[in-house]
Amino acid sequence: MDVEEVVSGVLEGDRRATARAISMVEDGADDLPELIEGLFSKTGNAYSVGLTGSPGVGKSSLAAELVKAVRSRDRSVAVLAIDPTSPFTGGALLGDRLRMQTHATDPEVFIRSMATRGHLGGLALAAPEAVRVLDASGADIILIETVGVGQAEVEVATAADTTLVVVAPGWGDAVQASKAGILEIADVFVVNKADRDGAAEAARDLEIMLKMGPEMEWVPPVIRTSTVNDEGIDELWEAIESHRKHLEASGELDRRRRARLLREVEEMVSVRLRDRAASMLERGAMEKLAVDLVARRVDPYRAADILVGEVGREDR
């Protein structure tokens, strides 16, 4: 398949082409710019929902239930599971993926996990591109599942239109949540595993923290769910829909998407110029500067000044 075939395949909603396109994003393929160029004008129709939270809170099971909820409303859905893989542990989450197999034969459900092996920009750039592919392929709803609440995962979660922060009973007190920085990014809180002890307390803790925080135009609702008892999933879906309506009515959806798009391009510029600076410094025109830096004859700020000038001049 060449890029043109992938582009036309994705636009027709062909699953193989879509999978191929995500692989191109994952690997940072050379012809990724052509892929995105071919798809970009056809995007903007999907609504994306990010799920984030510590390992073990049940995000995958919850995503599976949300897939059911979306399908019962007759809309198509794509799930993008983002694995922050390490050289040690490629594929650690494969088990999680298998739980999704109930939907494996539904043509309106597309499930794909993605690492960021080759993409120069890492998750911050690969995630929005994968979402773009799924959007162009005709998915109405895109669920983005990420593992952990590190900075990279937070960035991914905020790449969605609505971000769910998932916790579980006994998941720890308010201080943990605030240390992890998840309060600021949640549009909806989900206390999953609500069949277990401590769910009411976890929900109450969150509600208290939200009251203690600054006033917000949209106050994130706290929804209790259980994928065992099939509890709370419809309420969760309604909360997502309410948030969407809020974003649309306030003009905030357009503002957020615009800001995300500009940030993405700024990040691309930044990654590209960092790469250029690194080449110049490590094996190119500015090698002497590196030597002076290491010998402490030039300080980092001065070195950065010089490089900023040179990186701009370089025309490649």
Q: Pick the binder of a second copy from 104, 105, 215, 300 (CB under 8 A).
A: 300
Q: Which residues pair with 81 in a beta bridge?
A: 113, 145
Among 2, 41, 197, 249, binds a second copy (CB under 8 A): 41
Our finding on whether 268 is near a second copy (CB under 8 A) is yes
Residue 88, interface with a second copy (CB under 8 A)?
yes
Q: Which of residues 120-149 bind a second copy (CB under 8 A)?
A: 147-149
Residue number with CB closer to a second copy (144 or 293): 293
Does 91 sit near a second copy (CB under 8 A)?
no
* Contact between 170 and a second copy per CB under 8 A: no
Chosen residue from 13, 118, 150, 198 binding a second copy by CB under 8 A: 150
- CA angle, residues 77, 83, 84, in degrees to nearest 5: 145
69 binds a second copy (CB under 8 A): no
Alpha helices in 181-232 (DSSP H): 199-212
Q: Quote the tokens at residue 3.
A: 């890029």
List all residues 6 or more positions away from 268 whose beta carbon is below 8 Å from its beta carbon.
121, 125
CB 164 within 8 A of CB 188: yes
Structure tokens at 173: 């007190």
Report the alpha-carbon distance of residue 178 to residue 195 in Å, rounded.
Answer: 25
Residue 127 neighbours by CB under 8 Å, 6+ apart: 80, 82, 144, 155, 156, 159
Instruction: Decide: is 274 part of the binding site for a second copy (CB under 8 A).
Output: yes
Judged by CB under 8 A, which stretch of 106-114, 226-234, 245-253, 296-304 contacts a second copy? Answer: 296-304
Count the neighbouring beta carbons within 10 Å of the beta carbon of residue 54: 18
Question: Which span (28-36, 68-76, 109-117, 241-249) binds a second copy, by CB under 8 A?
Answer: 28-36
Is 178 near a second copy (CB under 8 A)? yes
Q: Applying CB under 8 A, does 262 fall inside the site for a second copy?
A: yes
Task: Please name the amino acid found at residue 28.
Answer: G
Q: Considering the rule CB under 8 A, would residue 151 count as an interface residue with a second copy? A: yes
- Angle at which helix 3-11 crosses helix 32-40, to 10 degrees, equals 30
Of positions 183, 197, 206, 244, contacts a second copy by CB under 8 A: 183
- Cβ distance to a second copy smaller for residue 73 or 312: 312
Q: How far is the CB of 31 from a second copy (least distance, A)?
A: 11
Residues across the chain = 316
**What would the two tokens of residue 96 be?**
């999680």
Query: Binding to a second copy by residue 159, rule CB under 8 A?
Result: no
Residue 36 contacts a second copy per CB under 8 A: yes
What burial class does residue 236 get, using C-beta atoms within 10 Å of its C-beta: 0-12 exposed, 13-18 middle, 19+ buried? Answer: buried
| Residue placing its CB nearer to a second copy in the complex, 25 or 67 | 25
Contacting a second copy within 197-256 (CB under 8 A) = 209, 213-214
Determine the residue type at 251.
G
Instruction: Give min distance, CB of 26 to a second copy, in A.
Output: 17
CB of 237 to a second copy, least distance (A): 27
